Amino acid sequence: MNTEDKQLSSIYKQAKQEIPAEHIDDAILAAAKRETKKFSLPYNPFSNTWRVSASLAAVLILSFGIVTLIEDVEDEFTLDGVTPLIIEETESRQLPANNVEKRRALAKAPSTARAKSSLQQPAAKSLSDTSNAEMTHDLLSFREQDKKRNEQLARKNKQEAQRTKLQTESTDQISLSPALPLSSPSTITTGIDEQAMLPYWQYKDEGMSIRLIQRLPDQTRGYFIARGFSAKHAELIAQSCVFQTVFKNTSNTGEPSAIVYNMENWVVSHNGKSGGMKTREKWAMQWQELNVPAAAKLAFEWGLLPTRQDYQPGDYNWGMAIFDLAPADNFNLKITWQQHNEQHSVIIPKMLCAADIHADPEAP
């Protein structure tokens, strides 16, 4: 600090502190208040209403989102928790998929031999004859083979779905009867079932959902041969068009109401012709004529989706729906049911029966 700075500093110290006069201070304050008043609205007790409205809207949107999410999660759990297809794959694994002769030979084998060769139905008494280590090894080996088989089937089905433009999720135009309230958020979706890795068609509205998942003819052969059908008779089913079906009364999440349906009223349209479903009663007559064993008939009967059913809220069934069509056929399905004292119907268009494809032979 030089001499000049020191002098200047002492002058400042001696000078009086600058404080505006009181009247100037008041004038500044008054002017400021005038300016701010220009932009403030008069007091309104409802001026904050938008916040409540916004909160309400946010809560409603969040609530709707959560409820929808819960419903979806529930669906996923129910549909995907355990699927029969993996087990059925296990059964069909015993039958070389691309070797009809071997399959027939196995079918002709004594039932005890079949039972031992099947993972699904090993004779319980034979468990004591087999060491746990061997069983574990076999199971792991089978599971690995099944996994490979599933992957192969998945690839093939994806290709098939691409060919038929079904690979990606899509929502089709819904054909609704006038009785179905237009306000109900009903949808038809198609896609690949996550567990079965096969195409599915699903209809869903506020009170009901039905999902039809393709079954490969080879799965059907394996399933029914394992339940006492001869290869010849299992082939009759396999050469039809089979879907694994899940029918649910979902009205327990909204306005509860029972569902009643009769499959005999459902209409299958194929190549410009309309017909009915091939119900368990129609099959039963055929099995009677063909002298199918009683145990096989019983397994068949309970394996199919009921022809008639009434579902209370929360009730559901799994079962096969069999159409009197051939593998790879296209068709439209009109489903009818009663709920909320109204007749409902929906047409699920462009459904496709699974083609009779076979997995490639296992790589050595």
Cβ(250)–Cβ(203) below 8 Å? no
Least Å distance between CB 96 and other proteins?
22
Least Å distance between CB 336 and other proteins?
17
Q: For the chain, what's the residue count?
A: 364
Least Å distance between CB 133 and other proteins?
16
Our CB check for other proteins shows the closer of 19 and 124 to be 124
Our CB check for other proteins shows the closer of 10 and 112 to be 112
Interhelix angle 231-238/217-225, rounded to 10 degrees, is: 150
CA distance 222 to 232: 12
Least Å distance between CB 348 and other proteins?
21
Q: Which residues neighbour 361 within 8 Å (Cβ) at sequence distance 6 or greater?
A: 96, 98
Least Å distance between CB 315 and other proteins?
4
Q: Which two tokens stand for residue 72?
A: 């979806």
CA distance 310 to 208: 12
Our CB check for other proteins shows the closer of 172 and 315 to be 315
Q: Which two tokens stand for residue 196?
A: 């079965």
**Element holding 30 (H helix, E strand):** helix 22-39
Q: What phi and psi values does residue 77 have, to the nearest 5 degrees?
A: -65, -45
Our CB check for other proteins shows the closer of 24 and 52 to be 52
Our CB check for other proteins shows the closer of 184 and 252 to be 252
Cβ(309)–Cβ(247) below 8 Å? yes
Least Å distance between CB 108 and other proteins?
21
Strand partners, 208: 249
Our CB check for other proteins shows the closer of 147 and 308 to be 308
Least Å distance between CB 311 and other proteins?
6
Our CB check for other proteins shows the closer of 142 and 316 to be 316
Tell me the CA distances in angstroms from 42 to 35, 50, 52, one per residue in order: 15, 17, 20
Tell me the CA distances in angstroms from 307 to 11, 19, 257, 335, 347, one per residue in order: 109, 98, 20, 12, 18
First to last CA, the chain: 94
Our CB check for other proteins shows the closer of 116 and 358 to be 116
**Element holding 151 (H helix, E strand):** helix 132-163
Our CB check for other proteins shows the closer of 7 and 312 to be 312
Q: What is the contact surface with other proteins in residues (CB under 8 A)?
A: 51-52, 55-56, 58-59, 63, 78, 81-84, 87, 115, 121-125, 127, 223, 227, 248, 252, 256, 294-295, 298-299, 301-303, 305-309, 311-319
Least Å distance between CB 364 and other proteins?
31
Q: Which of 127, 84, 359, 362 is nearest to 242 (CA)?
A: 84
Least Å distance between CB 346 and other proteins?
21
Our CB check for other proteins shows the closer of 161 and 322 to be 322
Least Å distance between CB 309 and other proteins?
5
Strand partners, 249: 208
Specify the residue for token string 């008939």. Answer: 297
Where are any strands of DSSP class E within 177-270?
187-192, 199-204, 208-214, 241-249, 259-262, 267-270
